[in-house]
Amino acid sequence: MKAVGIVVEYNPFHNGHALHIQESKKQTEADVVIAVMSGSFLQRGEPALVNKWARTDMALRGGVDLVIELPYRFATANAELFARGSISLLEAMQCDAFCFGSEDGKIAPFLDTYHLLQEKETEYKSALKTFLKEGKSYPAAASLAFRSLSSNERGLDLSQPNNILGKEYVHTALSNNYKIKPFTIKRVAAGYHETTLHDKAIASATGIRKAIIEQKQSMQTISNYVPHSTLAILETYITYYQSFHHWELYWPLLKYRILTSSAAELASIYEVEEGIEHRLLDIAKHSSTFQQFVTQVKTKRYTWTRIQRICTHILTHSLQAEMEASSFPSYLRLLGMTEKGQQYLQSVKKELPLPLISKISVYNDDDITPDLRATNVFAQGLTEPYQTELIKREFAAPIRLKV
């Protein structure tokens, strides 16, 4: 069986994701789709809208055959580490190819970019350092540094979020001499950060979340933009738990964590650098909401996303030393599969280079501790008995969907 891998968050699963699955299978002629999916907290440093089990269910009903969890230390990291964790897991799952959505839509510019940066690595790093010293954010500095090296023919727009991730996916695959082959499809309709809903059938996950959380619109508002299965799962979730997850739910816990920590304790947290711990302490004292807090902490150098990631690591007490302990994932955590996914798993099981975990209760390794802690914290956004229920769910079997 031929497998194509995709890297996803599904926050939530929408029509654009369904198209991505269809086109990935078409381009690579794959029989099976394997998704590496972030868990409780996501790459932009925010809690997922619904728990990973609900999102796994969306994925399986939306066309994915097998879902593997991207460990917390990679799921909440910068683009380079996020990509390294994701693509290495797809390689470990014996995928023949991986396919990502991008603003560019053609794989050649990504391959050219990789080779150009290999040729001019010293110049690139020097330019990057210069732009960072000027106070540019890392994404802006990286884009400017690359632009200073490339000609129009070889240039890739690295100011675009999906192109940035795509560049790192390709870099991980090629620099590690992986067997897995890169493919890309063009991202259509809504942009990654698009916050409004239009008449078209594809909207961004950001726009969908904004409609149902910030604007408190009815679930029917998003019915044109998500599959029926996603809508049903979201409606069941909000009815059962009485809330979706978002940062304001966790603000009291985050504020407590900041204000009961010393500057030195905060400085030991992953990504807390350059004295920003003092700024965090000072502004937390006078902030009544998460929105207000991040707005005041944010600077040209520290983007909203970077601040959110810092806040996530403070909330989950993720220490620098712990997060940097592993350069690559050390296990494969199975979240769910269809019957076809199970057949594929049986065919490659003996070739997997990493331990496959179907139940955490039988796996005893420190590498999984950050994920367990992340689930414990994520559950605090719910009331009892749902907190305890979600924490217990972490130790149960993966989802097996018959389709």
Q: What is the pLDDT along the chain (403 residues), one digit of tens a residue?
A: 999 999 999 999 999 999 999 999 999 999 999 999 999 999 999 999 999 999 999 999 999 999 999 999 999 999 999 999 999 999 999 999 999 999 989 999 999 999 988 988 888 889 888 988 887 877 788 888 888 876 544 568 888 889 999 999 999 999 999 999 999 999 875 444 455 555 567 888 989 998 898 767 788 889 999 999 999 999 999 999 999 999 999 999 999 999 999 999 999 999 999 899 999 999 999 999 999 999 999 988 888 999 999 999 999 999 999 998 889 999 999 999 999 999 999 999 999 999 999 988 878 788 899 999 999 999 999 999 999 999 999 999 999 997 6
Residue 16, token pair as written in the block: 């654009």
Q: Has 78 been labeled as part of a binding site? A: no
Burial 271-285 (b: 16+ CB within 10 A, else e): bbeeebbeebeebbe
Q: Has 48 been labeled as part of a binding site? A: no
Asked if residue 44 lies in contact with residue 371, where contact means CB atoms within 8 angstroms, the answer is no
Q: Has 331 been labeled as part of a binding site? A: no
Q: Has 20 been labeled as part of a binding site? A: yes
Q: Has 59 been labeled as part of a binding site? A: no
pLDDT at residue 146, as a whole number: 84
Q: Classify residue 239 as exposed, middle or buried by CB count within 10 Å of its CB (0-12, 13-18, 19+).
A: exposed
Q: Classify residue 210 as exposed, middle or buried by CB count within 10 Å of its CB (0-12, 13-18, 19+).
A: middle
CA dihedral 231, 233, 234, 237 (to 10 degrees): 160
Q: Has 162 been labeled as part of a binding site? A: yes
Q: Has 245 been labeled as part of a binding site? A: no
Query: pTM to 2 decimals?
Result: 0.92
pLDDT at residue 121, as a whole number: 86
Q: Has 341 been labeled as part of a binding site? A: no
Q: Has 19 been labeled as part of a binding site? A: yes
Residues in the chain: 403
Q: Has 302 been labeled as part of a binding site? A: no
pLDDT at residue 340, as a whole number: 97
Look at residues 206, 209, 208, 157 and name the one whose alpha carbon lies nearest to residue 186: 157
Q: Has 7 been labeled as part of a binding site? A: yes
H or E, element range at 369? helix 369-378
How far apart are the C-alpha atoms of 1 and 30, rounded to whole Å?
Answer: 8
How far apart are the C-alpha atoms of 53 and 394, rounded to whole Å?
Answer: 9
Partner residues linked to 334 by β-bridges = 68
| CA dist 346 → 32, 36, 330, 341, 389 (Å) | 13, 18, 20, 9, 31
Q: Has 15 been labeled as part of a binding site? A: yes
Q: Where are the domains of the chain?
A: 120-159, 247-315
Asked if residue 174 lies in contact with residue 110, where contact means CB atoms within 8 angstroms, the answer is no
Question: What number of other Cβ atoms are within 10 A of residue 115's Cβ?
Answer: 11
Helices (H) and strands (E) counted in the chain, each on its own, are 19, 8
pLDDT at residue 140, as a whole number: 80
How far apart are the C-alpha atoms of 46 and 358, rounded to whole Å?
Answer: 26
Q: Has 18 been labeled as part of a binding site? A: yes
Strand ranges (E), 79-169: 97-102
